[in-house]
A and B are shown apart, each in its own frame.
Chain A
Amino acid sequence: MDHHTSSNNRYTSLGAGDSKERILALVKQNQPDFTDLPAIVNFKQEYDDVAEKFITVLRGIGSLVYVVEGYDQIAGIIKENFADARRIVSTCDELASIAEINKMYEDPHLLEDVDLFITSSNLAVAENGAAWITDKQLSERVLPFIAQEIALVINKKNIVETMHDAYDKIADEEYGFAVFIAGPSKTADIEQSLVLGAHGPKMMTVFVVE
């Protein structure tokens, strides 16, 4: 905290302080009469099978999905699918036999050669296939982006219907960084042709644990 407060002071000498007062005065003067914030409504969705919906959406956005019983099975699938991987990093203790577990890294740049990153998510959303990951599940924030491929372990009971349900759960959660990830990184910037693997992972595998 102290560190940041002191660097903050260094910047105020640029005259930023004046601009703050000026901007706020103009905003106050020009903003319209107060209107109330509407009450938050959760538009409930009733899917016949939440997990089924989640899996369908995930496949639709280019992810590979396995429904599994537990970590033994996951380790087996990874060993088979990623036989060529030179470096696999994970934050799941259960995968110690196949991956580098929960190390603290000196420098995020050292993760440049990670082929596969595996982590777990405690909250996933059926309507859009997104999984919530906070820095508690990341030894380095860059891991889910820098790895060539990513795999997520999600317990079936942690899948909710919509983003409303998701934010109901995480409204007060503490984190420094958190992210919803839905599928592999992608782009369609060249003539709207969809290409998987823009800057982040080229593939995403999701293990739904029954």
Chain B
Amino acid sequence: MHNESKDHAGLAEDFNKDERRVEWHDETLWWVRQKRDKAANGIAEWEQLREAASQIKNNVLSNLAAYLLQFEEKAIANGVIVHWAADANEHNQIVHSILKKHGLNKIIKSKSMLTEECHLNEYFKHQGVEVIDTDLGERIVQLAGEAPSHIVLPCIHKKKEEIGELFHEHLGTPKGNADPQFLTNAARLHLRDKFLTRKVALTGVNFAIAETGEFVVCTNEGNADMGAHLADVHIACMGIEKIIPQRKHLGYFLRLLARSATGQPITTYSSHFKQPRKGQELHIVLVDNGRSRQLGRADFRNSLKCIRCGACMNTCPVYRRSGGHSYHTAIAGPIGSILAPNLDMTKYADLPFASTLCGSCTNVCPVKIDIHEQLYKWRQVLVKEGHAPAVKKMGMQGMTFTLSNPSIYHIAGKAGRWMMKNIPFVVSNKMNPWFKQREMPEPPANSFTEWYKKNRKPTP
């Protein structure tokens, strides 16, 4: 699905061919970011909440093995069937084996970034299993033959006219109708039929509670619940880092999650699944897929605290102007750029360079992950571990080079223009005059050259 031959800079250039779309993308995500600010500012204890959530997650990472065992024990006592998957392939096989046991080859799926990470849809395509994504945004990208470009807003890169065209082709809506209300209703009818006829539903997991063995799924659309409560078999797939110790801790996390994601005070549904419904089979698949390795990397383990709110993407000047697909990995943006090199250093060596290190991501992160510092550290690891050749080819390396040679920057032509538009400033923390501020304002794009002349220092 992703373009394998291009790196972030190359893919970002593709995205930038349509300037009006880029403007729209940029402004829309910035608007979502502003809604987040408004919601956060409405809570006097916001910083204390972030600190508490961060400390809870630190405790989880330091005691993860015990929590996982406790969670499994409670879940089994609740009547849940628990599976462990070491990697993506094993995850896909486990899900498939459950389908095979029931003699079924159709499944519906609500939002699960983990199954994107594991490429479950592609796996099932080869196995002749029909998968239907039921989150509206995910269904749209699925019909388009694409991957989600954002973890919370999967089709934020698409214009409504394109969606109207897709629905015309696949769902038979009238040609030229691009009204969101109309298209949403068409999808409602189309997917209702799937909910009513499919026997296996897969959902993601937002939080899994060690003390009770239950898990919580948050959606606005209600698709996870429609699937799970109608199906004979419910399969919930989760990364092992999704554990929180106690139910009471949800008080913090549910206050933070939706406000950080979209500025809502809470998602419409926060569903707590503890026991299977009478006559139903409930499975939980616990997936490692590199998480235990990341846990061992002292500089990067904090990335496992992520609650997938997407705030770091919405605020990121590079993400907003390069689009999620330019990251060529399931989880885009700043956090994805820390997670991906752990999975494959060669393939994702470009991503930690796709950042201005401005620190805005770190400032908005509800669990206080030091995102931009980890990006900076990844750069050093990648160079040291011999991925420099890969990095050298990359536009972002070009950027580092260019910025230490301002004259080249001025004559870099198209590349320079791209940077001018996309990267308002390129700085390390110490160089960044905005860094002291908790939430960084957007600098005027054209002030960069001037700013840079004054602040030019050796590139780290």
Contact = CB atoms under 8 A, between A and B. Distances in A.
A, B from the same assembly: yes
Interface of A: 1, 4-5, 7-8, 10-11, 14-17, 19-20, 22-24, 26-38, 40-43, 57, 61, 108-109, 112, 125, 127-130, 140-142, 144-146, 162-164, 166-168, 170-171, 175-193, 195, 197-201
B58 A35 contact: yes
A158 B347 CA distance: 54
Given A31-B295, A34-B62, A170-B247, A184 B163 contact: no
B292 A23 contact: yes
Nearest to A43: B45
Q: Binding site of B, secondary structure by majority: helix, strand, loop or mixed?
A: helix
A195 B247 contact: no
A182 B267 contact: yes
B274 A175 contact: yes
A27 B240 contact: yes
B81 A8 contact: yes
A17 B84 CA distance: 7
B393 interface: no
B392 interface: no
Contact of B251 (A32, A164, A182, A184): A164
A32 B305 CA distance: 13
Nearest to B197: A109
A35 B59 contact: yes
Interface stretch (B133-141, B372-380, B405-413): B133-141
Interface residues of B, number: 99
A190 B180 contact: yes
Nearest to A34: B62
B225 A145 contact: yes
B221 A108 contact: no
Contact of A24 (B68, B181, B274): B68
Interface in B119-159: 134-137, 140, 153-156, 159
Interface stretch (B86-94, B381-389, B437-445, B450-458): B86-94
Interface in B226-275: 226, 229-230, 240, 245-252, 254-255, 262, 264-275
A195 B180 contact: yes
Contact of B230 (A109, A187, A195): A109
Contacts of A41: 48, 52
Residue among A23, A185, A190, A200 with most chain B CB within 10 A = A190
A190 B196 contact: no
